[in-house]
Chains A and B, each alone.
Chain A
Amino acid sequence: MAETEPRVVVFTCNWSAYGALETAGSQRLAYPANVRPIRVICLGRLHPGLILKAFELGADGVLLLGCPPGECYYEFGNERAEELFKETRAIAHLLGIEDERLMLDWVGAGEGEAFVQKVTEFYRQATCWRDL
């Protein structure tokens, strides 16, 4: 493939990670341009199908960023997210996709810096897998 930069998809919960992304924006913090955030209303609304689709379309890594434990806007959305994350990882594993290429993490709505740090680190790792 001609493209040398990795492609990373970040699914962001509307109430936490997306808020963090906006905070980062208002603080003019930068993160790699090849990180593609996709806002969902709740991470629990995702589905293994959507995550696999990202890999099918060529994502090198997929990061799920949701609400910190106990702070889900919808009470149990992040527990759902954890279940579907495990299920998707198991399917991805069967397909030969390394575990590190799909990660689940959380970030609070006001934490712009933490958001940038997390996606940048994930992106940096994706660069390493690319080089493998």
Chain B
Amino acid sequence: MEAIQQIIKSTKAYYCLECGKCTSVCPISRREPAYSPRLTVERAMWGEGEELLTDALLWSCLTCQHCSERCPSDVYYAEFIRDLRALARGAGEQGLCSHGEAIQTWMRMMASPDLKQNRLKWLDEDLKVCTLQQALRQAQEGPQDTANSDIVYFVGCLPYYDVLFTKIGAQGVEIAQSAVRVLNRLGIEPIILENERCCGHDLLWEGDVTNFRKLAELNVAMLQATGAKRIITACPECYRTLSVDYPEYVGSLGMEVVHISQLLAERLVGSWKLEVGSWKKVTYQDPCRLGRFMGVYEEPRQVISALGLELVEMNHSGKNALCCGTNCWTNCGAINKQIQVDRLREARATGAELLVTACAKCQIHFKCALDDARLDQEIGIEIRDLVTLVDAALAQEEGGSKA
């Protein structure tokens, strides 16, 4: 099949040495012996590509890039899977979705250009933001009196996740509220789009390129209309997607995209020494999109130390960090739960009192694993998002008691 040959080429799968390093680090392979990235690459090379497209294992990969990090030949395995999934979908495969496909469904519904969302209810009165109308005026008439409104805060799906996952204790819009409050403290009143769409990350990595493009085009048009220069996001997936995939699939945004940890590292470190109340020792989960995909390892750690917290690393960290166990809401089952539990055991073993996450989804997946009462003694640990910690610390500094 021509298309498969093309994928082998573009992801450099033909460089594969059959060394099996990928399979030896793959968290799925560890729990599901039938799944092997090495064998998958080999099968594509042997001309069994078409069979791969109908194999249920195609949907098992977490696209966490742990394998590529180890691959001596630089095979882009995650992209290899992503593109095979797109082919499979094109051939009528449905893929595997968790949560009754609710999440993918709302993402696809957002691809409609006429959608009028009610997604800004979380914007409490104390949060200072600039609406699109103000931004448009600014773009036409030059700077207005609002501070720094050449910065967009791209919220992502937090208001939606809030509905489904706060019942398991995950922080949803709380992360967005913290992000805006922290930006305000830095003198930034960000532009927020009332009809922002999902960035499309999950649809892309699940092979639904058609709807990904629609979402991307709608977002690019809205973002460019603001005339802003910088986009800040607190979600590693939005960060990766806007900065790498939008240019590749729909064209450049012409704007700088920053993960909030980078901004905080730049502005916090060295200038403020903040104390967060009850925790002393913490550990940190590198999100795969922020770490292995975008190479942002240091900044979140700098922010953690700026908060006066002692960081103790897990057995696997940085480039070698273990995935939180699920990606793009595909195929969550016993194996994924096992990976989450394994990771939480590592977190517990550090002796940390708190696990800091920088991705809302890592937090959701871990909290979901924690929901298992039988394991609470073994894996129970408090989990908070980095931005909410910074927010709590700043509030404390102001004399409040937010922590």
Which residues of A approach B to under 8 Å, CB–CB?
A: 47-50, 52-53, 55-56, 87, 90-91, 93-96
In the complex, the answer to whether B159 meets A49 with C-beta atoms within 8 Å is no
Q: Tell me the interface secondary structure of chain A in the complex.
A: helix
Q: A87-B164, A91-B163 are in contact. Are A96 and B116 (CB under 8 A)?
A: yes
Q: Which of B93-148 contact A (CB under 8 A)?
A: 97, 99-103, 105-106, 108-110, 115-119
Q: How far is the CB of A74 from chain B (nearest CB, A)?
A: 19
CB of B160 within 8 Å of the partner chain: yes
Specify the chain A residue showing the minimal Cβ separation from B111: A56
In the complex, the answer to whether B100 meets A49 with C-beta atoms within 8 Å is yes
Q: Could you name 15 residue pairs across A and B whose Cβ atoms are closer than 8 Å? A: A47-B100, A47-B102, A49-B99, A52-B105, A52-B106, A56-B105, A56-B108, A90-B163, A91-B163, A91-B164, A94-B106, A94-B163, A95-B109, A96-B115, A96-B117
Residues of B within 8 A of A49 (CB): 97, 99-103, 105
Q: How far is the CB of B192 from chain A (nearest CB, A)?
A: 15
5 new A-B pairs (CB below 8 Å) besides A90-B163, A94-B117?
A: A48-B102, A53-B105, A56-B108, A87-B164, A91-B102
B interface size (C-beta, 8 A): 20
One of A48, A55, A56, A90 near B100 (C-beta < 8 A): A48
Which residues of B approach A to under 8 Å, CB–CB?
A: 97, 99-103, 105-106, 108-110, 115-119, 159-160, 163-164
Cα-based distance from A55 to B99 in the complex (angstroms): 17
Q: Identify the 5 closest CB pairs spanning chains A and B, nearest first.
A: A49-B100, A47-B100, A49-B102, A48-B102, A49-B101
Q: How far is the CB of B122 from chain A (nearest CB, A)?
A: 11
Cα-based distance from A87 to B110 in the complex (angstroms): 18
Q: How far is the CB of A95 from chain B (nearest CB, A)?
A: 6
In the complex, the answer to whether B99 meets A95 with C-beta atoms within 8 Å is no
Cα-based distance from A89 to B314 in the complex (angstroms): 40
Q: How far is the CB of A63 from chain B (nearest CB, A)?
A: 19
In the complex, the answer to whether A93 meets B101 with C-beta atoms within 8 Å is no
Residues of B within 8 A of A96 (CB): 115-118
Cα-based distance from A35 to B105 in the complex (angstroms): 22
Specify the chain B residue showing the minimal Cβ separation from A54: B105
One of A52, A55, A56, A95 near B117 (C-beta < 8 A): A95
In the complex, the answer to whether B163 meets A50 with C-beta atoms within 8 Å is no
Cα-based distance from A70 to B159 in the complex (angstroms): 33
Q: How far is the CB of B98 from chain A (nearest CB, A)?
A: 10
Residues of A within 8 A of B102 (CB): 47-49, 52, 91
